[in-house]
Structure 1
Amino acid sequence: MIDLEGKSAILHAIGGILFGLLANYVYGAGLGIASGLATLLFLFIGLVIMGHVSAMVLGRNSLSQKQWLGTGGTSYFFTAIVFWIISFNGVICL
């Protein structure tokens, strides 16, 4: 059985895959020099959304902020950046 931190990491990794693939569209939206900052802001908003989703699924008081940031935040950002790079290089096309 997976503990709460493991479930949080899995939920955030799935969200990282989704938002990482969508980040390529934000990056290619034609914002010029601000496209990188807009993409990082998009990924940060995705982290907040996944935090709320995991709070609804796992329970609002199940993890502290330190546990959530350590398990969910790191797995989300590493997964999102990897899938953004893969999508940008054309390995995965949506």
Structure 2
Amino acid sequence: MGILSSLKGLFAGGESAPEKAEDVVEHKGFSIIPAPMKDGGQYRVAATITKGEGEEQKTHKFIRSDLMPNRDECIEITLRKAKLTIDQLGDNIFG
């Protein structure tokens, strides 16, 4: 699969659509929901990061270019990268 096809799939909801959401992981007041995306026989690192509840809830979609050969490894890498992003950016992750 070419680069353009991969990008098209990210935005068109094609082959790279997220699989079922995983269990929520809490980190420093943020919630991380891993959502590995199947992409050409591999899995793309992706998650939703949220903070707050109800009308106060803020959400950030986290999608990386990293591809992993299996789903479990992808979830592990997703959580590590999401936690690092939270550690580095804190509330600035929401813009």
TM-score, reference length from structure 2: 0.33
The structure with the greater share of residues assigned to helix is 1
TM-score by length of 1: 0.33
Higher relative contact order structure (alpha carbons within 8 Å, sequence separation ≥ 6)? 1
Higher share of residues assigned strand: 2
